[in-house]
Amino acid sequence: MFVERKTGSLWYGGLSLGIYEALGVAGVLSAGTLSDRMGRRKVLFWALAVAPVAILLFVFTTGALKIAMLMIAGFTVLSTTPVMLALVQETARDNPSAANGLFMMVSFAARSFAVVIVGAIGDVAGLENMFTISALLGFMAIPFLLKLKK
């Protein structure tokens, strides 16, 4: 919707969503393997540091840079779930299936709630401001990541 409103083209909006989701799939598929090799904290830190910057640059740039930032945002934003799931399963060694189910339940509920809040912010403050606020709030996850046990 954001791209459609900015460009006036439903085709660009659909293409942008397709690009974002395709790179998100690539991020999901590669993040688990990368975290196995490089470490969960490093991959999560990289994603949590890069995603907000990519979102901010996506909002405030144009042309090829905007498309590149959309691709980076898709790759990084969506790549965190498999890494966090691996952390949950490693932490709950005695009951990994139950921990997996609990993680997925909480994740689904939190994302559902967040979509309502983000939509309300977008309606009240505008989509550009919503993306900006969301990106800035994204940086708040980094201190929590740093508190994880090594």
pLDDT of residue 6: 73
Taking 80 as the threshold, does the pLDDT of residue 5 lie above it?
Answer: no
Distance of alpha carbon 84 from alpha carbon 64, whole angstroms: 31
Are 10 and 4 within 8 A, CB to CB? yes
pLDDT of residue 29: 93
What does residue 79 show for φ and ψ, rounded to 5 degrees?
Answer: -80, -10
pLDDT in tens, 40-63: 999 999 999 999 999 999 999 988
Q: What is the DSSP string of 22-85?
A: HHHHHHHHHHHHHHHHH-HHHHHHHHHHHHHHHHHHHHH--HHHHHHHHHHHHHHHHTHHHHHH
pLDDT of residue 4: 74
Q: What is the DSSP string of 83-147?
A: HHHHHHHHH-SS-HHHHHHHHHHHHHHHHHHHHHHHHHHHHHH-HHHHHHHHHHHHTTHHHHHHT
pLDDT of residue 150: 73
pLDDT in tens, 87-144: 998 888 899 899 999 999 999 999 999 999 999 999 999 999 999 999 999 999 999 9
Mean pLDDT across the stretch 64-93? 92
Which residue has 């949590």 as its token pair?
48
Are 78 and 27 within 8 A, CB to CB? yes
Domains of the chain: 2-146 (1.20.1250.20)
pLDDT of residue 3: 74
Q: Which of 82, 68, 76 is nearest to 33 (CA)?
A: 82
pLDDT of residue 43: 95
- Both tokens of 61, joined, read 């740039």
Distance of alpha carbon 134 from alpha carbon 55, whole angstroms: 9
pLDDT of residue 2: 75
Are 55 and 73 within 8 A, CB to CB? yes
Q: What's this model's pTM, rounded to 2 decimal places?
A: 0.87
